[in-house]
Copies of this chain bind each other. A is one copy, B any other.
């Protein structure tokens, strides 16, 4: 099957591959470059960066690197610009600005301000006749799609999202800011007992502390007091105070050797019932060795959909909820019906 599937894919590659630009080149931008290399229907126009272009080396070494400010000259060359900046300061500015020039995809993930960000991107995209998909990736992204499916398929039910085991960048940063910490990473872990209770079809009410635990690996600075550091971490409001947190002290060598990867994942579980109380459980699970590469793969699949929705005149801000699954695949609809339905 693999063989014939490959043949079909190739036969479907159009004369005109989808031309992708990468806006920002950190872990996510590198992941987008790698993901495009695995598609049969896309080509990478270039990387656009606010750093000095000559200081940026791409994964393949073959991709042109341009200054960010040259983007407005490239509106005719790029079908979809994949915005790879962060949600804190990059995207709130870049998202609306770029949606006035390009079709875009981004991974804006500040849940609380999504409605505001949607509106800020929607207006310029509509005015310019562009399509801008926001908040794509895995959460928000495919996890969101599964929360929606769960609720729509089983209206009588509860949805649970568990994250981990995974490296949390924000929490790692918080630990690194503690006086006496020379280096650190933080992992979020779903609590086994809570996951099992939900999977079994119960609909427990779970406190924050019951759903997840947190595990820190910390390198102490010279002369730092381990107990004081531990106490400062586990009591930190918002980040750790509401969780059961374990702090492990390790050497700088161990940190570099054992904790350089960026695994993540989790579960979305909908536990519902139908009819006279039949239990129905739906679970969507990700186990990712590379969080940024999976997010990037989602951005690239949705960039394909954005290109098609733009061509179909569906302009403005969009989310994963607006995207028919078939638009994500490079294969023709008839092949999808024959092979995957």
Chain A residues in the interface with B (C-beta under 8 A): 2, 30-31, 34-35, 38-40, 111, 114-115, 118, 135, 140, 142, 144-145, 147-149, 151-156, 158, 199, 201, 274-276, 278-290, 293-294, 296-298, 301, 304, 319-326, 328-330, 333-334, 336-338, 340-341
Min CB gap A318→B, angstroms: 9
Closest residue of chain B to A35, judged by CB?
A: B274
Asked whether B280 lies within 8 Å of A288 as measured between CB atoms, the reply is yes
Q: Give bound CA distance, A286 to B149, whole Å.
A: 13
Contact of A321 among B144, B280, B298, B326 (CB under 8 A): B326
Q: Give bound CA distance, A97 to B39, whole Å.
A: 41
Asked whether A337 lies within 8 Å of B281 as measured between CB atoms, the reply is no
Asked whether B144 lies within 8 Å of A301 as measured between CB atoms, the reply is no
Asked whether B286 lies within 8 Å of A285 as measured between CB atoms, the reply is no
Closest 6 interchain pairs by CB? A321-B326, A152-B328, A278-B290, A274-B293, A278-B289, A283-B285
Q: Give bound CA distance, A333 to B318, whole Å.
A: 10
B residues within 8 A CB of A111? 341
Contact of A341 among B279, B319, B333 (CB under 8 A): B319
Q: Give bound CA distance, A265 to B294, whole Å.
A: 27
Q: Give bound CA distance, A290 to B145, whole Å.
A: 23
B residues within 8 A CB of A153? 142, 294, 297-298, 301, 328
Given known pairs A34-B274, A340-B151, A341-B140, the reply for A287 and B201 (CB within 8 Å) is yes
B residues within 8 A CB of A336? 148, 321
B residues within 8 A CB of A155? 38-40
Given known pairs A324-B324, A341-B140, the reply for A329 and B152 (CB within 8 Å) is yes
